[in-house]
Structure 1
Amino acid sequence: MHILVIGAAGMVGRKLVAKLARDGGPGGRAIDTLTLVDVVPPAVPEGFSGSAEAVTADLSAPGEAEALVARRPDIVFHLAAVVSGEAEADFDKGYRINLDGTRYLFEAIRQEGLKAPYKPRVVFTSSIAVFGAPFPDRIHDEFFTTPLTSYGTQKAIGELLLSDYSRRGFFDGIGIRLPTICIRPGKPNLAASGFFSGILREPLAGREAVLPVSEDVRHWFASPRAAVGFLVHAAEVDTAALGDRRNISLPGLSATVGEEIAALRRVGGDKAVALIRREPDPTIARIVAGWAQDFDTRRAEALGFRAETSFDAIVRAHVEDELGGVVGG
């Protein structure tokens, strides 16, 4: 089996690659080749028994998608994207990476299949940002996509392309709308949602964090552990059960910022909570106000997707996976 991971140097990409190298492909199948791609050099996993190649490439550059697809991977994980805040700040870059890169990839697969039969599984990471206010109390998969950000618009177009290319039989695609991933390890990024992780990650490590919105802001979350599980399961799920509706909203946890902080207090104590500094940011507040807060994910759950059911579990997963089980660094 040959697996191509585009966006392999990102946080979720690195964790996905580590799991694939450790546990094998979907269904435990042996992986002969891992091709890892990003705009910065991805790390090759240690101890992997197959062939692993790190490729530095920009999917939106001419010829790059064709070169990657010419190797005919069996599974393509498309994780590469410019995050929400950066896509909003840099209109051209957001559309070039998030839309053009995605279309080039899909079209390269189609063209490769015209040479000789070829139909890989394509797992596309979409986002709950494809939905825009006003919302029902809980959003179901049939709710219309009216994104209120450039990032959400780019992901929504990607979803439409994936469904159409799958309908036409060019590849076997599934688009997974990830919740906001929390707690993201490492340094803060330019995502408008970054503070959701920051107000937990930094205090757990003994550092100060900034909270730019009020504590009654509600959002939809899942952990990095859950995100990797989503990706692997998407690669093996029976897409016949999806029909032509190839994009699904994944399970998560609806919680307020106040509930996040309460979980931080239970796991990290009052000392950790005291490190959160309130600093209102109207721009961030405006963007977040247009995001979905709760989802009806019975369709995804029926297909076997699973996530955490408490914020305490999300916080503890971070402490175990990133801090060696120790709060306060």
Structure 2
Amino acid sequence: MKVLITGGAGFLGLKLARLLLERGALSLGGQAVAIDQLTLLDVVAPQIDDPRVRAVTGDLSDPAVLAQAIDRETGAIFHLAAVVSGQAEADFDLGMRVNLDASRALLETCRTLGHAPRVVFTSSVAVYGGKLPAVVQDDTALNPQSSYGAQKAIGELLLADYSRRGFVDGRVLRLPTISVRPGKPNAAASSFASGIIREPLSGEAANCPVDPATSLWLLSPRGAIQALVNGIELDGERFGNRRVVNLPGLSVTAAQMVEALRRVAGDAVADRVTWNREERIEKIVGTWPAAWDVSRALELGFEGDASFDDVIRGYAEDAGVSL
């Protein structure tokens, strides 16, 4: 079987690719199905040296590029490619092309081929907004307050309809904010959720641009990758007529994140965090829900992290940072 990861050169894409190559197979329909080829599609070539890996570079919204990446033997697709929240808000046309037009082009390619592959689409807390209940359910009404959230919400609805019609076997995983991400800050409004941990652990100062009491719904990179694999391996009928699931996460405030850093790494590290609020960031992040009812996700076998202290320790282990 062939497997495709869009956004395959990104952080989660590469991490997922390495896990799939290590496993060598996916459990589909109660059987272990070998991964003969893993296609990584992105605007830049991924850095993985494995004979099973095939790189396709180009614009995901271009049907010709998608035709290179998907054929009738592509049985599983992880659609991770996206323009992040802050960038999609700053560049409306780019966000629409990558987050919406490319998603529909991918689904149309699958419909044309007629082989109904399994498709995992990663969505976001940003599909919610406005006045929210204390705890958000899978079926809480969508009310995005950003272009990124609107694009993700439309993508969810498209995947649900293409699944209803039998064009794909889709499932939508609404990811919490992923923390702690390695590397440099990006244009996501939630980038600080990694920066206030990652930079201090590296000996650098980091600013938190939101009120210390701001709540975030977080999931570690390790947890996100396991959720993606579980999402593709679940039989479609387990989702019923609701193809969307809110993934388990941790509800923590920005202040609690820094206190966890203090417990794990000490005062000197935690004191590298400054608190200078930025209205642009608060305006976006403040519309996101902080607590979800994830009972359905747990019933489907998804798992979250035990504590944010453990998330920090896991990041340090993966990044080779001494605590």
TM-score (norm 1): 0.94
Aligned partner letter, 1:277: T
Q: Tell me the residue number matched to 2:60.
A: 59
SS in structure 1 of the partner of residue 38 of structure 2: strand
State yes or no: 1:21 paired with 2:25: no
Distance in 2 between the 1:197 and 1:180 partners?
A: 9
Deviation string, structure 1 residues 198-251 (Cα, Å, up to 9, x no partner): 000100111111111111000100000001001100110122021121011100
Q: CA deviation at 1:6?
A: 0.7
Check conservation: 2:176, 2:218, Cα contact below 8 A. Answer: yes
2:322 to 314, 326, 329: 326
Q: Tell me the residue number matched to 1:168.
A: 165
SS in structure 2 of the partner of residue 215 of structure 1: coil
Distance in 1 between the 2:92 and 2:219 partners?
A: 28
Distance in 2 between the 1:15 and 1:71 partners?
A: 25
Give percent identity, aligned residues only. Answer: 49
Q: How does 1:31-180 map to 2 (within 5 A)?
A: 31-44=35-48, 46=49, 48=50, 51-70=52-71, 72-113=73-114, 118-180=115-177
Deviation string, structure 1 residues 55-92 (Cα, Å, up to 9, x no partner): 11211124222332235311011000000000000000
Check conservation: 1:26, 1:233, Cα contact below 8 A. Answer: no
Distance in 2 between the 1:112 and 1:131 partners?
A: 33
Distance in 2 between the 1:256 and 1:63 partners?
A: 45
Stretches of structure 1 lacking an aligned partner (at least 5 in a row): none
Q: CA deviation at 1:255?
A: 0.5
Deviation string, structure 1 residues 114-157 (Cα, Å, up to 9, x no partner): xxxx1210011111111112111110111010100100000000
Distance in 1 between the 2:250 and 2:271 partners?
A: 25
SS in structure 1 of the partner of residue 34 of structure 2: coil
State yes or no: 1:30 paired with 2:34: yes
The alignment's C-alpha RMSD in Å is: 1.2
Distance in 1 between the 2:146 and 2:35 partners?
A: 38
Distance in 2 between the 1:71 and 1:279 partners?
A: 52
Q: CA deviation at 1:177?
A: 0.3
Where in structure 1 do 4 or more consecutive aligned residues deviate above 3 Å? none
Check conservation: 1:133, 1:292, Cα contact below 8 A. Answer: no
Aligned partner letter, 1:100: D
Worse-superposed segment, 149-158 or 125-134: 125-134
Distance in 2 between the 1:216 and 1:198 partners?
A: 17
2:180 to 172, 180, 183: 183
Worse-superposed segment, 104-113 or 279-288: 279-288
Aligned partner letter, 2:42: D
Q: Tell me the residue number matched to 1:243.
A: 240
Distance in 2 between the 1:244 and 1:40 partners?
A: 36
Counterparts in 2 of 1:283 and 1:325: CA distance versus 1, 3 Å: closer
Q: How many residues align?
A: 319
SS in structure 1 of the partner of residue 230 of structure 2: helix
2:307 to 303, 306, 310: 310
Worse-superposed segment, 35-44 or 223-232: 35-44
Aligned partner letter, 1:10: G
Distance in 1 between the 2:53 and 2:321 partners?
A: 31
Q: Tell me the residue number matched to 2:294.
A: 297
Distance in 2 between the 1:210 and 1:266 partners?
A: 19
Q: CA deviation at 1:309?
A: 2.6
Check conservation: 1:216, 1:257, Cα contact below 8 A. Answer: yes
SS in structure 1 of the partner of residue 199 of structure 2: helix
Worse-superposed segment, 64-73 or 139-148: 64-73
Q: How does 1:268-279 map to 2 (within 5 A)?
A: 268-279=265-276
TM-score (norm 2): 0.96
Distance in 2 between the 1:170 and 1:95 partners?
A: 23
